[in-house]
Amino acid sequence: MDDPRRLTGRGGEENVVDDGVEFYQLGAWTVVALFVLFYGGTFLMSAFIGKKNENADGYMTAGNKIGFGVSAASMTATWIWASSMYASATSGYTYGISGPIHYGLWGALMILFIYPFGRRIRKVAPKAHTLAEVMRARHGKSSQLMLAGSNVVGSVISLTSNFIAGGALVALLSPFNFQQGIVAVAAGVLLYTLWSGFRASVLTDFTQVVAMLGAVVIIIPVVFIAAGGPGMFESGAANLTAEQSNFFSSEAFLNQGAPYIAAVLAYAIGNQTIAQRLFAVREDLIKKTFVTATIGYGATVIGIGMLGVMALYLGINPAEGDLNNLIPQMASTYLGPILLGVFFIMILGSLSSTADSDLSALSAIMMADVYGQNVARKGKANPKTMLLIGRISMVVATAAGLYFASGRMNILDLLVFVGALWGALVFPVLASFYWKKVTNKAFTVSVLAALAVFIPVRFGWISMDGATGYVFDAISVVGIGVVLGLMAFGFFGLRPALGVGVAGAVLSAPFVMGFLHDYEVLTGSLVAYAVSTVLCYLMSFRNKEEFDFALIQQRIGDYDQRSMQPAEAAAAARS
């Protein structure tokens, strides 16, 4: 804890970093008080909304009838996490002013692209708890466990990145270290989520997002003015490379924008935290919820990302060389003690709103997909046992997140990796909700094959020299068509989607052939889309058996009502 660079300051500490910039730290007792205020308040909220006789369905989806205000706030808060804020700033610092645009704009548009698919998913499975549960009803066990397994991996990575963000915040803005920070954040989130599960997550999200958006409106302009206002862009222009100065930078698009378009579409379709809110909101409010979340996310994340752009123009070096420190470093350099406390709460709220969503998602997967449909006998799942399993899952997931967070990996890399990983699932999952011919074998084989190609491409295990690079460029062109076609399909239907996909592939081919393979992240993601789509189609289109989607509603329902006697179930339905 002793650091010769730390100097006692006004109620806190001022710290001199390596590039000579002094920044303000909150005192130890101030930080403790902020933690108690924030997590104590959210715990009281969750205790107030908790039920003495909690039920499994409420713990997972809050009864499928959440209203517009709460659902829109929850979707916004879940999508705006500390990791997205940190990653947007990292993108701004790395790629210049276009970086946050590429990060925030495409992420916002992907929320918008979800809602037409969401309406179809709710229509097919109005009482579902997880997407994997629907895949079980649609295909069988292998498809369910594959989607559930990918969500477990994704949610643990998400938890990890949020704990990393919290640790970086605490380490830079207080006398406490990174390890103490991640433990405090993990304990705080677990404290209020454990009792009421998803219900606690969505209702505390409302308060968190109001505080978060309010803080952003105040903090960004204050930092901008304190850092020199418009003058910094003139005086600091020499700190930027030619690509960083170019708003239409191809490097920014190929390294950040394009991979994120593909990754976020996959996040939207494969992520249980999004699906859980889709199943919880009232069906007639889906469109309003997603449109509102689109606007809130885009404005907030692009705004926060500009802190990274300002740091670039100012020539600030990240503390300890860690890009995760950029946002707290900028705040502590240019904000006074009161606004720094507001900023601290803002980041706590953003990371907690997503971390509690991850815990709720993981618990629902373990409750419904593992126990409810694979351990318990058909129709015999015990709701009380499900609740116990859900709570144990939260504790185990928190411990896993803490373990992996200790490695302090780059948050932006984590987010793009898990998004690309889910790219292998997008077409098989969506096709399963619309196309009657998709088979369990086609789903399973296409996803596994896509993962088998994605992983070696993403990590550079395959040499791209010579003809091999051109082959993967050609596959990536197919992936471009798939991504564009899927975006168009949700809004305009099959025929326009086919036209957009084919046109996108044909028009992009002359521009990407011969060099796209040099961008491993983008290539890996596009290859995953292409392989899973082509294989799933080729293995399904000759299938003469057509699935009856009405069977899904018959196979998925409320677990608590299933355990009741007929008279009890009827009374519960009426209430």
Nearest Cα residue to 288 out of 76, 482, 451: 76
| Confidence check: pLDDT of 173 > 80 | yes
Reported as a pLDDT band with limits 50, 70 and 90, residue 10 is very low
Amino acid 438 reads V
> pLDDT for 359-411, tens place per residue?
888 888 888 888 877 777 666 778 788 888 888 999 999 998 898 888 766 65
Say what the pLDDT of residue 565 is.
41
Among 17-31, 357-371, 499-513, the range with the most confident prediction by mean pLDDT is 499-513
Say what the pLDDT of residue 569 is.
38
| Confidence check: pLDDT of 201 > 80 | no
Nearest Cα residue to 343 out of 322, 329, 357: 329
**Which of the two residues, 552 and 18, has the higher pLDDT score?**
552
Instruction: Give the 3-state secondary structure of residue 16.
Output: strand
Nearest Cα residue to 180 out of 191, 194, 192, 166: 166
Cα torsion 409, 216, 272, 111: sign = negative
Residue 44 and residue 96: Cα distance in Å, rounded?
42
Residue 294 and residue 106: Cα distance in Å, rounded?
10
Say what the pLDDT of residue 249 is.
84
Reported as a pLDDT band with limits 50, 70 and 90, residue 325 is confident
> pLDDT for 356-373, tens place per residue?
888 888 888 888 888 877
| Confidence check: pLDDT of 52 > 60 | no
Of 151-155, 159-163, 404-408, 556-560, the range with the lowest mean pLDDT is: 556-560
Nearest Cα residue to 114 out of 273, 253, 258: 273
Dihedral-angle region of residue 119 (phi above 0 means left; psi in -120 to 50 means alpha; beta otherwise)? alpha
Average pLDDT for residues 198-210, to the nearest whole number?
Answer: 72
Average pLDDT for residues 564-575, to the nearest whole number?
Answer: 39
Amino acid 467 reads A
CB-CB contact of 150 with 421 (8 Å): yes
Of 9-18, 64-73, 440-449, the range with the lowest mean pLDDT is: 9-18
Say what the pLDDT of residue 381 is.
73
Of 64-73, 205-214, 277-286, 408-417, the range with the lowest mean pLDDT is: 408-417
Longest alpha-carbon distance in the chain: 76
pTM, 2 dp = 0.78
Say what the pLDDT of residue 22 is.
59
Say what the pLDDT of residue 160 is.
87
Of 265-274, 357-366, 492-501, the range with the lowest mean pLDDT is: 265-274
Of 183-192, 193-202, 219-228, 305-314, the range with the lowest mean pLDDT is: 193-202
Reported as a pLDDT band with limits 50, 70 and 90, residue 532 is very high
Average pLDDT for residues 325-338, to the nearest whole number?
Answer: 86
Nearest Cα residue to 26 out of 343, 324, 286: 343
Of 98-102, 248-252, 442-446, the range with the lowest mean pLDDT is: 248-252
Token pair for residue 240? 């930027």
Say what the pLDDT of residue 567 is.
38
Residue 470 and residue 335: Cα distance in Å, rounded?
51
Say what the pLDDT of residue 354 is.
81
Nearest Cα residue to 124 out of 486, 431, 370: 431
Average pLDDT for residues 327-353, to the nearest whole number?
Answer: 85
| Confidence check: pLDDT of 277 > 90 | no
Say what the pLDDT of residue 437 is.
94
Please provide the average confidence, as pLDDT, over all residues in the chain.
81
Of 35-39, 239-243, 250-254, 534-538, the range with the lowest mean pLDDT is: 250-254
Instruction: Give the 3-state secondary structure of residue 51.
Output: coil
| Confidence check: pLDDT of 220 > 50 | yes
Instruction: Give the 3-state secondary structure of residue 2.
Output: coil
Reported as a pLDDT band with limits 50, 70 and 90, residue 561 is low
Average pLDDT for residues 232-256, to the nearest whole number?
Answer: 85
Helical H segments across 236-336, by residue range? 242-245, 250-252, 258-270, 272-280, 286-314, 326-334
Strand partners, 442: none
Using a 10 angstrom Cβ sphere, with 0-12 exposed, 13-18 middle and 19 or more buried, the burial of residue 445 is middle
Say what the pLDDT of residue 35 is.
92
Average pLDDT for residues 128-156, to the nearest whole number?
Answer: 85
Reported as a pLDDT band with limits 50, 70 and 90, residue 82 is low
| Confidence check: pLDDT of 571 > 60 | no
Reported as a pLDDT band with limits 50, 70 and 90, residue 416 is low
Reported as a pLDDT band with limits 50, 70 and 90, residue 18 is very low
Say what the pLDDT of residue 217 is.
84
Residue 80 and residue 222: Cα distance in Å, rounded?
21
Reported as a pLDDT band with limits 50, 70 and 90, residue 419 is low
Say what the pLDDT of residue 474 is.
95
Residue corresponding to tokens 């996803």:
447
Q: Please name the residues in contact with 82: beta carbons below 8 A apart, sequence gap of 6 or more.
A: 162, 165, 166, 169, 347, 350, 351, 354
Cα torsion 166, 168, 170, 176: sign = positive
